[in-house]
Amino acid sequence: MIDFEFAPKSYFDGTGPSALLAKLSYPESHWGEEISIYAAPLDGKIYYEVVDFYGNEFDLSPEKSQKPLTLQEFIFLIETLEVVDNSTKGDMNLTLSGIPEAKSNVYPQLEEYFTEKRKNFGML
């Protein structure tokens, strides 16, 4: 059973200014797109950033938080990602309409959630 209320105590372990929260890959996309999601502390808040190969700008919900997100909130962030229209490169909005394969050291059950979702949609 997936614990959607799970939240890490912190994203940061002192090894750098930002933390990799998850890597998402979209194997059905023409180019096998990958997206990385990072967190960075600034002025007592945690800001989230999405990075792809093309350098697209993404709309995030939420863009920032006071504390680490629960698994449910992080899944919502992933599933509502959108590319800012004036910067779309690589047909990323179409890619984002798919269901990713996910890897995360911060959210251990994220991979299980998306694997089950892919199975339910006949993608495995």
Residues 6+ away with beta carbon under 8 Å from 43: none
Q: Where are the beta strands (DSSP E) in the chain?
A: 19-25, 34-42, 45-52, 58-59, 64-65, 82-83, 101-103
The reported pTM is 0.90
User: pLDDT of 69-89, one tens digit each?
Assistant: 999 999 999 999 988 876 556
Q: How many CB atoms sit inside 10 A of residue 117's CB? A: 16
Strand partners, 22: 37
Length of the chain: 124
Mean pLDDT of the chain: 90
> For tokens 């997936």, what's the residue?
2
